[in-house]
Amino acid sequence: MNIKIKEVNILNIMSSLSLEDSVREWVRMDNEIKERYEELKKMREKRNVVMSCLSEHLERKNMKHAMIEINNGFLKLHKVKVQTPLTYRFIQQVLESYIEENGSLDIKQIMDYIKENREFKYIEDIKRTYKNK
């Protein structure tokens, strides 16, 4: 409930700004988002390096299944199964493989059908482009 009140207040404030002020505010927020994204990206990279070192250390000590107690919980090394994205190229490769094993179909026709019938939606957004430095 508190969140909705804040959203309404922000909308009321933003609607009272001039076009120029709205553009300035949008650019300011976009800059901040970009900076934070870059910070997060660097933090993730550092965390991955530390994770790799920690994993190697645990393996050397034969502690792959150990649970390490920390202030607010535990750390445990585990593997996560992550699926790759479902791309047109992947679908085509799988269909070709299937047909080699099971008979023939017109892959190009199937791929065209998939592409033509793919669902999409339109969303409103503001796209920013940067001048070359």
**Structure token pair of residue 96:** 């070709």
Tell me which residue has tokens 């300011």. 28
pTM score > 0.95 for this model? no
> Cβ of 113: how many Cβ atoms within 10 Å?
11
Quote the number of domains for the chain.
Answer: 2
Do 70 and 94 fall into the same domain? no
Average pLDDT over the chain, rounded to an integer = 82
By three-state DSSP, how is residue 67 classified?
strand
By three-state DSSP, how is residue 75 classified?
strand
Q: How confident is the model at residue 7 (pLDDT cuts 50, 70, 90)?
A: low
Higher-pLDDT residue of 34, 5? 34
Question: pLDDT tens-digit profile of 8-53?
Answer: 566 666 677 788 888 898 999 999 999 999 999 999 999 999 988 8
Distance of CA 114 to the CA centre of its chain: 24
Percentage of the chain beyond pLDDT 90 is 17
Q: Which of 48, 64, 80 is the last residue of a domain?
A: 80
Helix%, strand%, coil% for the chain, nearest 5? 60, 5, 35
Angle of helix 107-116 relative to helix 88-102, nearest 10 degrees? 150
Domain that holds residue 87: 83-122
Do 12 and 75 fall into the same domain? yes
Do 18 and 29 fall into the same domain? yes
Do 2 and 64 fall into the same domain? yes
φ, ψ (nearest 5 deg) of residue 18: -75, 165
